[in-house]
Chain A
């Protein structure tokens, strides 16, 4: 297999802003980085892509000075990297906005911006007294300089995800850093916010800021980045400009396969007489927060062997509808029948007993118990299968878990590993396995491939096909087009109403327009 040459940057480029060469890092027997490197040109946005476990996080830890490499070197603007203990020097060179917030929600924006370097009220001892007025003024100035439209007095907990990220970027810039690493910044943003973030990035770039952009979404990489570096199995496998490396080359480099993202084979038509599995009538549900209505007068049916998509962004009500079906919330009115039986509203056990399997929106929040083993998490919904009279036979649990691990291709040394030790994609497979453990008649999936790598995504979507071939009904609530492409039919939701009904073969544009509430 021909791979792109490891280094394609032409010599006439300016001196690299950041250069890491031959970096190796081991954690015990695990090789996290194996002679890897990256070269970042000033003023350009550089994408770092790779599957989960490819070594991206470790490289970020090395570039930010949080981990000391076993071998290799890092230099900034030709100068060797600061000493590991010199945090202030590192902070002046590089900042990272992590996927998980490092903002303290109880404190104000101003306090977060100047955490542990609050301005004092004067000299000497008085430097130790915090001057609240100066702190607020400094923060206000900083936010104004970088055009962040957030009040310095606001409580950080009240910020949206988008505002929170901007505050983190502003904090990074306040250290005079002009190199910022963004780790999956779009994972929790809707499409409008992503567009605004990209505009912001371009504006900052024009003012001399260089970004290292980490994302699972190649589409975003090609929208915002100029250079791209691909990591696989702890090494750099490709690097170049986005013109040099097209999307299929990058995917091939990420997966190590020549073929990736194969078009899904066309599926046979649904037999006309397939029985109705899920029958929803006039469903009205309340929103996750607040008392306003999330969805009203929703009616649809899903038949055996059918995959129905509920397409919609945040606030469309898709999540609320899906959670109502599985008993996590009660409908205000309307009825839900599975195989003709009405479900007890708001009862997960009732939904499980009726044969409903469920993959929740946020795997960390509702999907798994991180400290428990893969086997325990996989079998959590089916304890009655593991022994009589409420007992659990570990052998039965292990056997069932092994089957699911194999079916879902979970990469693990064994079923007794804690789920917390798995990569994101494999964690999501465990959550999917938990939903499948009870051989559901109806499988309800919310954003089933959020934040997972390309290969895991394929596996997860293949599972949907397998389940459907087994005669179960599947409901996919998502705004990811890849998820929705597995569907026989897609209902587009906008602000709690069904605004479109698409048969398989819809065009991306049509569906996105419907989800965005654009009238045709």
Chain B
């Protein structure tokens, strides 16, 4: 895959009697995983110098909460990227899933709601939309063998259009209490969405690192033919991954809708770029088979911390978006330097 001429390593030929040298590889891998930690600490220090409020617990909770919603998209995208695919439609699912729930539940008259379903059904309907989107993506990519990038690009546009259609381009208000719960409730002074996000990332670390399913994703992303020859049901695993990813995106959308108590027609619009940037900064390969959930977590955390520092530093709101783009580029360069590896 690499174009450079790598010399085959000269190994010791002195027979089986030699004890294998202690392996340094896992330690290296772990170090690569922690590549962004120094950068995160540095930003924390800079943030404190810029404005001591930065390390205030309220501010830290604020960072984590706003991060948790996009964070689930990053987690979802990481699963898909490790398996060697891309899912662009996640950002639209992020808006559409809570949008459909709101549409079916919110009473007529207030906004574009239909008022067909009872309030408690908000969460299951949201997640169900995520599952359905994942199944459709899987059907097109796995079953019919279409190009994943273009399929999910098409889905991104279709799903965005659906949300605009059902909402009439307006924002849904008056969401039922069930949909507000995870976005607004606090346990021990910390929003539920933070717990949920951290829990799901922890689960992601365990699943990708220590289960046959998770390791199968790496095998599929690294060499799908070898994975198939090793008995991995590649199609099924890929399909399942797409469904899980879309469901995570729906859940992330629900968190945001809950926090804002509304679903805007543009919810999630453009988020996918931040998501990809966070994943790549965190060391996930766009070519599949490489990267960790923990790395992706540090990637999104770093991005949100930098944005917060900028806001605290008094950067005018009109300039934030230009700076956001610049930050992503700088963060890429920083992670390139700290990891010492070319990004793919």
Interface residue ranges, A against B (CB under 8 Å): 25, 27, 30-32, 51-53, 55, 57-58, 61, 66-67, 233-234, 256, 326, 328, 348-349, 351-352, 358, 360, 365-373, 376-377, 380-381, 383-384, 386-387, 390-394, 405-406, 409, 411-418, 421-424, 426, 434
CB distance from A438 to the nearest CB of B (A): 9
Residue-wise interface mask of B (212-250) relative to A, using a CB-CB cutoff of 8 A (1 in contact, 0 not): 111110110011011111111100000000000000000
- Asked if B321 CB lies within 8 Å of chain A CBs, one says no
Interface centre among B1, B20, B29, B213, by most chain A C-beta atoms within 10 angstroms, is B20
Interface residues on B, range: 35 or more
Contact indicator B219/A369 (Cβ below 8 Å): yes
Name the contact of B5 in the complex, choosing from A57, A348, A380 (C-beta under 8 A): A57
Q: What's the least CB distance linking A441 to chain B, in Å?
A: 15
Task: Tell me whether A369 and B229 are in contact (CB under 8 A).
Answer: no
- Are A423 and B229 in touch, CB under 8 angstroms? no
Check: B318 CB closer than 8 A to any chain A CB.
no
Chain A residues, CB < 8 A from B289:
369, 371-372
A358-B229, A386-B212, A424-B8 are known; give 17 further A-B pairs, CB within 8 A: A30-B9, A55-B10, A57-B7, A61-B7, A352-B231, A365-B225, A369-B227, A369-B289, A370-B223, A392-B211, A392-B212, A413-B24, A414-B23, A414-B25, A416-B26, A418-B25, A421-B9
In the assembled complex, how far is the CB of residue A344 from the closest CB belonging to chain B, in whole angstroms?
Answer: 12
- Contact indicator A32/B7 (Cβ below 8 Å): yes
A30-B7 contact given A349-B231, A412-B20, A415-B23, CB 8 Å threshold? yes
Set of chain B residues within 8 Å of A358, measured between Cβ atoms: 229
Complex alpha-carbon distance, A233 and B23, angstroms:
22
Residue pair B218, A390 in contact (C-beta under 8 Å): no
B322 at the interface (CB under 8 A from A): no
Give Cα A384 to B290, complex, Å. 23
> CA A415 – CA B23 in complex, angstroms?
8
Instruction: Tell me the complex Cα distance, A383–B229, Å.
Output: 14
Output the nearest chain B residue to A426 by Cβ-Cβ distance. B11
Per the 8 Å Cβ criterion, residues 273-300 of B in contact with A are 289-290
In the bound complex, do residue A414 and residue B22 qualify as a contact, i.e. CB atoms below 8 Å apart? yes
User: Distance (Å) between the CB of B283 and the closest chain A CB?
Assistant: 13
Of A352, A358, A392, A409, most buried by chain B (CB within 10 Å of CB) is A392
* B188 interface hit (Cβ, 8 Å): no
CB A488 to nearest CB in B, in angstroms, measures 26
B215: A residues at CB distance < 8 A:
376, 380, 383, 392
Report the minimal beta-carbon distance from B161 to chain A, rounded to whole angstroms.
35
**Residues 6-59 of B at the A interface (beta carbon under 8 Å):** 7-13, 16, 20-26, 29
Contact between B22 and A390 (Cβ–Cβ < 8 Å)?
Answer: no
Q: Is the CB of B16 within 8 A of A383?
A: no
Residues of chain A lying within 8 A (CB to CB) of residue B20: 405, 412-414
B230: chain A residues at CB < 8 Å are 348, 380-381, 434
Query: Quick one: which of A51, A55, A390, A412 contacts B211, CB cutoff 8 A?
Result: A390
Instruction: Contact check, B222 vs A371: say whether CB atoms are below 8 A apart.
Output: yes
Q: Which residues of A contact B218 (CB under 8 A)?
A: 369, 371-372, 376
Q: Which of chain B's residues have a CB closer than 8 A to the CB of A377?
A: 226
Determine the distance from Cα of A383 to Cα of B211 in the docked complex, in whole angstroms.
8
Docked pose: A386 CA to B212 CA in angstroms: 9
B228 to chain A, nearest CB (A): 6
A380→B9 contact, CB < 8 A = no
Does B187 belong to the interface (CB within 8 Å)?
no
**Contacts A57-B7, A233-B10, A406-B16: A366 and B210 contacting too (C-beta < 8 A)?**
no
How far is it, in angstroms, between the C-alpha of A360 and the C-alpha of B223 when the chains are bound? 14
The residue from A376, A405, A415 contacting B219, defined by CB atoms under 8 A apart: A376
Q: Which residues of A contact B226 (CB under 8 A)?
A: 365-369, 377, 380
Contact A360-B229, Cβ < 8 Å, known A234-B10, A413-B20? yes
Bound form: Cα–Cα A360–B226 in Å: 9
Query: Nearest Cβ distance between residue B217 and chain A, in whole angstroms?
Result: 11
Alpha-carbon distance A383/B289, docked complex (angstroms): 18
Please tell me which one of the listed residues A234, A368, A434 contacts residue B223 in the complex, with CB atoms under 8 A apart. Answer: A368
A409 to B10, CA, bound (A): 15
Q: How far is the CA of A285 from the CA of B211 in the complex (A)?
A: 36
Q: Which of A27, A370, A406, A424 contacts B7 (CB 8 A)?
A: A27
Chain A positions within 8 Å of B9 at CB level: 30, 53, 421-423
Residue in A377, A412, A413 whose Cβ sees the most chain B Cβ within 10 Å = A413
Residues of B within 8 A of A326 (CB): 229
B223 near A369 with CB under 8 A, answer: yes
